[in-house]
């Protein structure tokens, strides 16, 4: 393949009409321009310039080669710009999977922020179903949820975002609706509604907390989607226990009441494919997620922003405490605990002692 640099020198000689003028335009010495032309002549086997008195004249072959090189050099320049844009995160596509509890609260604003900052970047934001076994198989670059066991863990890094408690959601006419907090034990005689599969690890987390309080939850309705659960709850005859994050965007005929005392907790996490972890767009998304987690920790009792010590290597197995929520992938249950006292406290120490990542 012909050297693009030598072709650029030839085009400059054609445009300026002399070696000296071309050297000034390119910032080279006249000797360097002459050497590039001689080398290109040897590569092509064509006479590109001829001497004429004290100067040179570009031959017909030289002019034809310079003319044909124009589109090729422009295409190479465009390719260089594309590489720079991809490297800087301005273009390309990022595919982000997220748990359903993020859908109405964090994701819309995040999408808006990213599009404003990186208008040429393609975004593919999708709810990640709880039955998905491997984020890599789905082509995700970033996954936001409760942490997933990954089959190719060496390809991923992660950061913890937030640890939070649960709330009980009841209808406005329910006797518990006016309470400032409710204990799990007070729900022992209530009919429950949940969209979690009853044999799932994320419902087992809640059920285990109930058993610790001396009862098993009486699930009366078990629809497949959360809006239907809220429909039952709004009648005033049912209760549901959900992560507090989901209470940020409820319909007006239900109310969320914090659970008091020891209860279930979950840890939210963002997982990033190593191949895109240094991208400016990825770093921007991570910063925005941490901003949101920090804001939530300031406004919701018992929520903790997991900023310090949260950058770790991706888990290689099913981490304790990094379990799937009702819209995420399943993991192992966390059990119960009181609210944590700091960013690294609490019962859901997903993978203490794991090596630090470089996310």
Residue 70: both structure tokens together: 């124009």
Nearest residue to 242 (alpha-carbon basis) of 325, 336, 323: 325
Q: Is the pLDDT of residue 317 over 50?
A: no
Tell me the pLDDT tens digit for each residue of 234-288.
999 999 999 988 877 789 999 999 999 878 998 888 888 888 888 888 999 999 9
3-state SS, residue 335: coil
**Contact between 267 and 350 (Cβ < 8 Å):** yes
- Please return the burial class of 180, using the count of CB atoms within 10 Å of its CB with bins 0-12, 13-18 and 19+: exposed
Residue 93: both structure tokens together: 């596509």
Q: Is the pLDDT of residue 356 over 50?
A: no
Question: Which residue ranges does the chain devote to CATH 3.40.190.290?
Answer: 171-257
CATH fold of 171-257 reads D-Maltodextrin-Binding Protein; domain 2 (3.40.190)
Write down the pLDDT at residue 82: 60
Question: Which residue ranges does the chain devote to CATH 3.40.190.10?
Answer: 93-164+265-337
Q: Are β-strands 93-98 and 122-127 bridged in parallel, bridged antiparallel, or unpaired? A: parallel
- When pLDDT is cut at 50, 70 and 90, the band that residue 336 belongs to is very low
Write down the pLDDT at residue 259: 93
CATH fold of 4-88 reads Arc Repressor Mutant, subunit A (1.10.10)
H or E segment at 296? helix 280-299
Question: Which residue ranges does the chain devote to CATH 1.10.10.10?
Answer: 4-88
Tell me the pLDDT tens digit for each residue of 39-74.
999 989 999 888 888 888 899 998 999 898 888 887
The highest-confidence range among 22-26, 248-252, 289-293, 326-330, by mean pLDDT, is: 289-293
Which distant-in-sequence residues (6+ apart) come within 8 Å of 332 by Cβ?
Answer: 201, 318, 319, 320, 321, 323
Q: Which CATH class is domain 93-164+265-337?
A: alpha beta
Over residues 292-320, the mean pLDDT reads: 67
The overall average pLDDT reported for the chain is 79
Write down the pLDDT at residue 335: 41
pTM given for the model? 0.61
């Amino acid at each position: 393949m012909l050297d693009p640099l030598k072709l650029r020198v030839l085009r400059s000689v054609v445009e300026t009409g002399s070696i000296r003028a071309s050297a000034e335009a390119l910032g080279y010495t006249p000797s360097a321009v002459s050497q590039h032309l001689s080398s290109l002549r040897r590569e092509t086997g064509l006479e590109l310039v001829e001497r004429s008195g004290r100067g040179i004249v570009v031959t017909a072959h030289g002019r034809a080669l310079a003319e044909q090189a124009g589109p090729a050099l422009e295409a190479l320049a465009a390719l260089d710009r594309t590489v720079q844009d991809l490297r800087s995160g301005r273009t390309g596509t990022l595919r982000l999977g997220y748990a359903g509890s993020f859908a109405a609260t964090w994701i819309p604003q995040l999408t808006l922020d990213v599009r404003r900052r990186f208008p040429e970047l393609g975004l593919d934001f999708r709810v990640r179903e709880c039955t998905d076994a491997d984020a890599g198989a789905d082509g995700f670059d970033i996954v936001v949820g409760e942490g997933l066991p990954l089959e190719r863990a060496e390809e991923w890094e992660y950061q913890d975002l937030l640890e939070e408690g649960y709330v009980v959601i009841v209808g406005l006419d329910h006797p518990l609706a006016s309470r400032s907090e409710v204990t799990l034990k007070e729900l022992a005689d209530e009919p429950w509604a949940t969209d979690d599969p009853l044999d799932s690890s994320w419902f087992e987390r809640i059920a285990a907390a109930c058993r610790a309080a001396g009862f098993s939850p009486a699930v009366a309705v078990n629809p497949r989607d959360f809006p239907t659960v809220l429909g039952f709850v709004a009648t005033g005859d049912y209760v549901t226990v959900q992560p507090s994050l989901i209470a940020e965007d409820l319909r007006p005929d239900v109310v969320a009441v914090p659970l008091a005392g020891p209860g279930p907790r979950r840890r939210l996490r963002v997982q990033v494919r190593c191949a895109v972890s240094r991208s400016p767009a990825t770093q921007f998304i991570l910063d925005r997620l941490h901003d949101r987690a920090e804001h939530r920790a300031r406004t919701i009792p018992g929520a903790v922003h997991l900023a310090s010590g949260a950058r770790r290597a991706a888990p290689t197995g099913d981490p304790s405490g990094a379990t799937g929520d009702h819209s995420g992938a399943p993991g192992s249950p966390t059990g119960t605990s009181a609210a944590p006292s700091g960013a690294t406290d609490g019962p859901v120490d997903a993978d203490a002692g794991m090596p630090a990542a470089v996310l």
